[in-house]
Amino acid sequence: MSVPLNAETIRDAPKVLLHDHLDGGLRPATVIELAAEGGYGALPSTDAAELGHWFLAASHSGSLVRYLEGFGHTVAVMQTADALVRVASECAQDLAADGVVYAEVRFAPELHVEQGLALDAVVEAVLEGFRVGTALAAEQGRRIRVGCLLTAMRHAARSREIADLAVRYRDVGVCGFDIAGAEAGFPPTRHLDAFEYLRQQNAHFTIHAGEAFGLPSIWEALQWCGADRLGHGVRIVDDITIGEDGSAKLGLLAAYVRDMRIPLEMCPTSNVHTGAAASLAEHPIGLLRRLRFRVTVNTDNRLMSDVSMTSEMTALADTFGYDWSDLQWFTVNAMKSAFLGFDERLALINDVIKPGYAALQA
Ligand SMILES: [Zn+2]
C-alpha cells in the first residue's frame, strides 16, 4: 500500500533539479527589500503578494518583452555581494524545504557587474550564499547539495571569459557552464571557442536549445558544440513521427539523442508560459517519457512561473497519471545526468533517492 501522491507527500520525496535560474527564483519579499536597500524604484509593486502576481502575469502574457522585464527587476536588485549572498542562500533554503536533495542552479555572472563587482566577486558571493543556505537548511534537518552552472548570454561576446571562470572555480562549487538567451539569430556555434576550451579542460556544459527554436538548434548544440545536456530540448519531438497505430518513428537526430542518453532538462510549466508548449497535457514530456528518452523535470524560473519541484511533479502526476515509480525514474535520470562525480551520484541514488521512494511505495 503506497503513500498517495499529492503535493504534501511529493514534497517529502527526494528530488533533483538541474535547470533553475538564480535570477528567476527570488522570493517576492526579498526583491522588495533589496530594491529598498539599493534605491531601486522601478518595481511594479512593493506588496509581496501583488508583486508575485505581477511576475506570474508577465510570464503568462505571451509577450517575451514583458517576460524579460521580470528579469530586469530581479537582476537590478542582484548587483552587490550582500544581495547575491542573500539570494543564493534563500535559494538553497527554499529548494531544501521543497525536498530537493541535489540542485545545479545557474546564473550569468556578466549580468551582475553593473555596480562594479568583478566577475570573480559575483561567483564568490553566490557560492558563499549557497554555503550559508545549505548550512541553515541542515539546521532545519533538510540536507541539500547545491552546485552552480555559470551561464554566458548567447547574444553577448563574453562566453570564452565565462568558460574560463567556470574552469577556475570548478573545485569550489561550480560544476559546469551553460549558454542562455534568445535562440533565434544567435546560434550556439557563435561560442565555439568557449566550448572547445571547456572540452580541452574536461569540463561539462549544457546549452539552452530546442526551446522556441527547432531541430537545427539542437543539432548544433550537440554535433558542433558537444553539449553534455540540452536545456529544454522539447523540439526534438519535431524529429519523431507518430503512426496511426501510436508507434513512433525516430529521425536520425532524435535517435541519436535517445541512443546516447542525452539528458533533456525539461521545464514543462515554463514552456507553457513562454508558448513553447500549448498546455501541460500537450507537452512533449508525455511522449518523450513514454519513449524513454533521458527526461528530467525542472523548474526553470520558480518566481516567474510560480512553480517548485513539488508543484511541477504534482502537476505532471495529475496530467499524465504518473505514480511514484515514474517520479523516481525522473529523479534518478536527473541524478545520473548531474555534473557531479560518478561515485557521488551513485551515493545519492543508492543512499538517498532509492530509499526515499521505497519508503513512499512500501
Ligand atoms: Zn532556462
Please answer whether residues 144 and 96 qualify as being in contact, where contact means their C-beta atoms are separated by less than 8 angstroms: yes
With a CB cutoff of 8 Å and minimum separation 6, the contacts of 53 are none
Phi-psi region of 184 (alpha: psi -120 to 50; beta: other; left: phi over 0): beta
Is 190 exposed, middle or buried, given 0-12, 13-18 or 19+ CB atoms closer than 10 A?
middle
CA of 301 to the centre of ligand 1 (A): 7
How far apart are the CA of 362 and the centre of ligand 1, in A?
35
CA angle at residue 331 from 251 to 269, to 5 degrees?
A: 70
Bridge partners of residue 53, in order along the sequence: none
pLDDT value, residue 65: 75
Are residues 160 and 197 in contact, defined by beta-carbon separation less than 8 angstroms? yes
224 within a domain of the structure (yes/no): yes
In a domain, 88, yes or no: yes
Give me the half-sphere count of Cα atoms (radius 13 Å) on the Cβ side of residue 112: 31
In a domain, 55, yes or no: no
pLDDT of residue 340: 97
Q: DSSP assignment, residue 225?
A: S
Cα 58 to ligand 1 centre (Å) = 16
Is residue 31 domain-resident? no
Total residues found in the chain within this entry: 362
Structural domain span for residue 252: 7-26+78-361
Residue 211: the pLDDT is 82
| CATH code for the domain in which residue 202 is found | 3.20.20.140
37 in active site: no
pLDDT score at 2: 86
Per the CB < 8 A criterion, the answer to whether 68 and 301 are in contact is no
CA distance 264 to 236: 10
pLDDT along the chain (362 residues), means of 10: 91 98 98 97 97 93 79 97 98 98 98 98 98 98 97 93 98 96 82 97 95 88 97 96 95 98 97 90 97 98 97 98 97 98 98 97 88
Cell numbers representing residue 225 in the block: 558544440
Q: Looking at residue 189, what is its pLDDT?
A: 86
CB of 31 closer than 8 Å to CB of 73: yes
Q: What is the pTM of this model?
A: 0.97
Q: How far is the CA of 245 from the centre of ligand 1 (A)?
A: 35
Q: Reading across the β-sheet that carries 295-297, which strands appear in turn? A: 15-21, 100-107, 145-153, 174-180, 205-209, 229-232, 264-266, 295-297
Hey, which bits of the chain come out as E strands? Answer: 15-21, 100-107, 145-153, 174-180, 205-209, 229-232, 240-242, 248-250, 264-266, 295-297
Please report whether residue 46 resides in a domain. no
The pLDDT score that the predictor gives to residue 68 is 82
Q: What is the model's pLDDT at position 186?
A: 83
Predicted pLDDT at 91: 98
Backbone region of residue 43 per phi and psi (left: phi > 0; alpha: psi in -120 to 50; beta: other values): beta
> Is residue 201 one of the residues assigned to a domain?
yes
Contact in structure between 152 and 182 (CB atoms under 8 Å): no
pLDDT at 359: 96
pLDDT at position 212 is 74
Count CB atoms within 10 A of the CB of residue 54. Answer: 18
Measured in Å, residue 115 CA sits from the centre of ligand 1 at 25
Is 45 part of any domain?
no
Q: How far is the CA of 264 from the centre of ligand 1 (A)?
A: 12
Q: How far is the CA of 110 from the centre of ligand 1 (A)?
A: 16
User: Into how many domains does the chain fold?
Assistant: 1
Set 110, 183, 211, 265: catalytic member: 211
Question: Quick check: is 250 in a domain?
Answer: yes
38 exposed, middle or buried (CB, 10 Å; 0-12, 13-18, 19+)? Answer: middle
Quick one: which of 96, 151, 98, 100 has its CA closest to 126? 151
| C-alpha distance from residue 260 to each of 144, 201, 210, 222, 264 (Å) | 29, 22, 17, 11, 12
